[in-house]
Structure 1
């Protein structure tokens, strides 16, 4: 297209953004209008994409990080012939694929965006996959707004992209000066953004974002830059082209009051269709499955930490499947992902202490067809919760592993103790939450995670623990294990991880006192084994849950929900961490929090005594 035609295409994108928002009576047309030239030039001259084959391995990736500007994205899809005008005008309506913020309900959308500050970190993951895994020269284009440059996750991405020399990544920064409630931090000071990016090692190009020739030259310069990522810092005007809203405060997130007049001012409706450049031929490095997964095996006389079993099982899984990748946040010696790094260095990625970037990169690698396992301390994964939440919206399958869970880590103190992680991951839609108590169980669950859909979380422990199960034992997701049982049981103790061993010790002590106790290892916290729990409730009438976690949202709540279908609720007592821990020995921590064997036994005695008084 000639420059004049590109300028017309930009106007067409503006008009269609206005029309879509007007049809919906909601949306963000002004934020879309500022980036129209950026979208037009990218679509017509630089993007290499086959809309008929979104799975084509050579396709460029385009991430609209400022997801509220979705009318611009949908206008681009219309111009490319991917959708028709009828669908454009279903924007934000029930049943439409064109949601208020884009999601992978559309085949050309890789990840859901709109929670600002996520597009560039996910783009880093895609670019890493292209460089180090796919080894295909596709480019990753990320369109961000100036407001989201205040997010810390953006700067985690900026720093990591430079460190990895991702010259296949380009940031298109739409500096339109206005945020939701008024001016942004730096307004139109392009150099304020550019010098910060340059300080991190980026190549920058500062332009008038409404000059199509300048945009075209900048995108060409980005593609020609070797050894570092490029940011095109573009000065734009929010609501560009319509006098009533152009560079006006208070117009964010609202359709234009007179859309027909705005369309006339923009020159009317256009119907140009763009022939987007096809991607080059590319070959996928197909994942190899040896079919001979050999998991580590531990004897019943052994003691092994579940974090160690995780690391050894992950390394074994990596040997059997070349689509498995491991991501670390500078704690691989603690989480034991270092075992994978030593055996499969080409598929191990170090993100240092940047948990948001690590989880975002895992999503980006999943988009490119890989099976990511991202690991850190359970406590630190809470920082990345918004990325986990949006990964579920993106329908991504990502495996997350949190080590050093609970007060059982001992002397490190409360800042290092994951005590909210089960609740966090249970709340994610479609998630799987697993909490093993021994080495063989951990190894089997790691292997199962690789084939699960959605967000999967494995909680591991720091200390060596006895091996309870044989290597041939099966641990289906959604199952549990009854470790002690008799027809005389007075109480059923439900535990997971560390507290399984404490519960068994308590049961042995109570047995000597003539109080038989059933013990259930609820290693699958979500989905939960409702059948076993309901059967135990029928047999004993009383359940006692014990967890190295806050009592809110964890194991106890998972058990309670198994009785939320209207059946009679058994007597249910929950032991968990209710205090703010301080440094102490692991055994002291468990006792102080009331979740050790002595505390469990005391709670059972009280329950049995109350049952005798109030049967």
Structure 2
């Protein structure tokens, strides 16, 4: 059984980590839209006020400004809630991608993480919106140290990056960013056997742990695998497991349409010898206000749903 020993909210380290990066590279400009306290990006202003641009509630113009900075050789980092960092500025992001801008977007409160704020703030379509844009990279780090490593990775690699960061506490499995050593390959977290390969995004780690514990209680062997990058996707790893397990399950804090599961379906559709795929995520519906953990359970992002899907294949 996997136990959760320590958790933390990864979004809380964003500002401090960006501050440490600005110390080494003054070209980094952090752009905020009145949510710097919630995303923690405002921590940058305490040490480097000139590198923190508070542009008010003007998301579209802020992303345009970030693109301009990128084209002038600066390193802009736009930080906002996922709902605003995708849907609200989708046209501007598409133009930035068309221009091949060296721009980084850090999105907090993904999926159902913005629970109390209701459906208007819950970004259950953000991965779908981002992965369909050419020249876009979509990465899904796990705990706070993986997030630090992922942000550094994005800034060290040229191009447009969407970094999806959990608002809710996530179990900590890495002791440092160096141990996390972020890259875009899938990461095996735990294995007990070849019945099921459970692939999950970083913000659904708690539900993934609960799911494999439930599988274990039902004598079902598993591989628990963190998908660190949605785009590009580690297809080699996916196909490797698809040929040796009885069932593949994707678990995502996102709609069942257009996200992680859809990306896997696209990969597996061309392989006749692949294991059946079951997609676990948020139902195709608008949700409601409430605690994010309760909403995930109600709307399908749950251990119970994983077991039910597995039972459809493994009787």
TM range (shorter): over 0.9
Query: 2:275 & 2:102 partners in 1: Cα distance?
Result: 36
- Which residue is equivalent to 2:244? 539
Q: Provide the rounded CA distance (Å) in 2 between the counterparts of 1:392 and 1:448.
A: 18
2:185 is equivalent to residue 479 of structure 1: yes
- 1:291-348 Cα deviation digits (max 9, x unpaired): xxxxxxxxx9542212113222212111121111100011001111011121211111
**1:566 Cα deviation after fit:** 4.8
What are the Cα deviations for residues 80-125 of structure 1, in whole angstroms up to 9, with x where unaligned?
A: xxxxxxxxxxxxxxxxxxxxxxxxxxxxxxxxxxxxxxxxxxxxxx
Alignment match of 2:62 (pick from 354, 358, 369): 358
Q: Distance in 1 between matches of 2:48 and 2:34?
A: 17
Q: 1:552-577: per-residue Cα shift (whole Å, max 9, x none)? A: 22111222233355563431111121
Q: Secondary structure at the match of 1:407?
A: coil
Point out the structure with max Rg over C-alpha: 1
Give me the whole-angstrom Cα distance separating, in 2, the residues matched to 1:514 and 1:301. 24
Query: Could you say which structure has the greater relative contact order, defined with CA pairs below 8 angstroms and 6 or more residues apart?
Result: 2
Separation in structure 2 between the aligned mates of residue 570 and residue 473 of structure 1, nearest angstrom: 32
Please name the residue that 2:205 is paired with: 500
Q: Secondary structure at the match of 1:514?
A: coil
C-alpha displacement at 1:532, in angstroms?
Answer: 1.4
1:563 is matched with 268
2:105 corresponds in structure 1 to: 400
1:376 matched to which residue of 2?
A: 80
Measure, in 2, the Cα distance between the counterparts of 1:560 and 1:311: 36
**1:209-224 mapped onto 2 (5 Å cutoff):** none
Q: Matches of 2:23 and 2:63 in 1, distance apart?
A: 23
Distance of 1:553 and 1:453 partners within structure 2: 26
Choose the corresponding residue for 2:133, options 428, 452, 460.
Answer: 428
Over aligned residues, Cα RMSD in angstroms? 1.7
Map Cα deviations across residues 475-508 of structure 1 (whole Å, 9 max, x no partner).
Answer: 443212111223x321111101222221112111
SS in 2 for 1:415: coil
Structure 2 counterparts to residues 87-236 of structure 1, below 5 A: none
SS at match of 2:89: helix
1:607 and 2:313 matched: yes
In structure 2, what is the equivalent of residue 321 of structure 1? 25
Asked if 1:527 corresponds to 2:219, the answer is no
- TM score, norm. by length of structure 1: 0.49
2:40 aligned to 322, 329, 336, which one? 336
> For residues 569 and 545 of structure 1, what CA distance do their matches in structure 2 show?
14
1:466, distance to aligned residue in structure 2 (A): 1.7
Which stretch of structure 1 is more off in the superposition, 470-479 or 525-534?
A: 470-479
Residues 1:385 and 2:90 are matched in the alignment: yes
- Secondary structure of the residue aligned to 2:104 is strand
- Equivalent of 1:367 in 58, 71, 78: 71
Q: Compute the displacement of 1:446 (Å).
A: 0.4
Aligned with 2:219 (options 514, 519, 537): 514
- Give the 3 Å change call, closer, same or farther, for CA 582–429 of structure 1 in structure 2: same
Counterpart of 1:589 in structure 2 is 295
Instruction: Report deviation, 1:516.
Output: 1.1
Query: Any idea what the Cα deviations from partners look like across 1:132-157, whole Å, max 9, x if unmatched?
Result: xxxxxxxxxxxxxxxxxxxxxxxxxx
Q: Report SS of the residue matched to 1:389.
A: helix
CA distance in 2, matches of 1:501, 1:588: 13
Name the SS of the counterpart of 1:546 in structure 2: strand
Structure 1: gaps of 5 or more residues = 1-299, 610-615
Deviations 1:409-460 (A, max 9, x none): 3221100111111111111112110112211110000001112222100111
Q: Measure, in 2, the Cα distance between the counterparts of 1:331 and 1:444.
A: 23
**Counterpart pick for 1:462 among 125, 149, 167:** 167
Instruction: Identify if the C-alpha distance between structure 1 residues 301 and 500 changes in structure 2 by more than 3 Å, giving closer, same or farther.
Output: closer
Q: Give, in whole Å, the separation in 2 of the partners of 1:301 and 1:592.
A: 25
Matched, 1:348 2:52: yes
Q: Within 2, Cα distance between the matches of 1:562 and 1:370?
A: 36
Question: Is contact 1:544-1:575 (8 Å) kept?
Answer: yes
Please list, as runs of the form range in 1=range in 2, the aligned pairs for 1:268-347 lying within 5 A after superposition: 302-347=6-51
CA distance in 2, matches of 1:313, 1:557: 32
Q: In the TM superposition, what are the counterparts of 1:47-62 in structure 2 within 5 Å?
A: none
Q: Please tell me whether the aligned partners of residues 404 and 462 of structure 1 are also in contact (alpha carbons under 8 angstroms).
A: yes
1:408/1:589 contact within 8 Å kept: no
SS of the residue 2:312 aligns to:
helix
CA deviation profile, 1:154-188 (whole Å, cap 9, x unmatched): xxxxxxxxxxxxxxxxxxxxxxxxxxxxxxxxxxx
The DSSP-based 3-state class of the residue aligned with 2:279 is strand
Structure with more of its chain in strand, by fraction: 2
Secondary structure at 1:473's aligned position in 2?
helix
